[in-house]
Amino acid sequence: MKTAGVIGAGNANTQLLELAEKVGRLLARNGFIVITGGLGGVMEAASRGVCAEGGITVGLLPTDSKADANPYVKIPIPTGLGEIRNALIVRASDILIAIGGQYGTLSEIALALKTGKKVIGLNTWHIPGIIKATSAEDAVDIALKLL
């Protein structure tokens, strides 16, 4: 089973949220299990897209309470690890798609690139090594080609 991590900020504008939801839909249609940090913003929008297609979403939560997961997380994993859970998202994902994002997302991008995982970027940090995509479709196409 292929897994894709969708990473991005808990607060994001409408454009990024629509992009995340579309990425989620496309990943689910292509058979990916989608892994996120389980909270709001990009994480929630991507999970909502996956659920709309009947896919599976895993939320690796920073807290130790399932109640903190957004309603589209089917498998909540409360880690109690705080930001350390970012590293687990990277480890659990075959590939990562970064959508917007702030420092937390940057830490995930850096950990992924450090450990040799591919990161596809949509309107995110400009860091050498990120593979830039131009649209949700483009991002998921790239992910499929890379795996």
Chain residues binding its own copies by CB under 8 A are 1, 3, 33, 56, 58, 60, 64, 66, 74-84, 86-88, 91-92, 102-104, 106-107, 110-111, 113-115, 127, 129
> Residue 122 carries which side chain, given as an amino acid letter?
L
- The single-letter DSSP state of residue 124 is -
CB of 17 to its own copies, least distance (A): 21
| 46 contacts 74 by C-beta, under 8 angstroms | no
Q: Choose between 90 and 136: whose C-beta lies nearer to its own copies.
A: 90
Q: Choose between 44 and 136: whose C-beta lies nearer to its own copies.
A: 44
CB of 42 to its own copies, least distance (A): 15
CB of 89 to its own copies, least distance (A): 10
CB of 21 to its own copies, least distance (A): 22
CA distance 119 to 4: 10
SS (HEC) of 15-71:
HHHHHHHHHHHHHHHCCCEEEECCCCCHHHHHHHHHHHCCCCEEEEECCCCHHHCCC
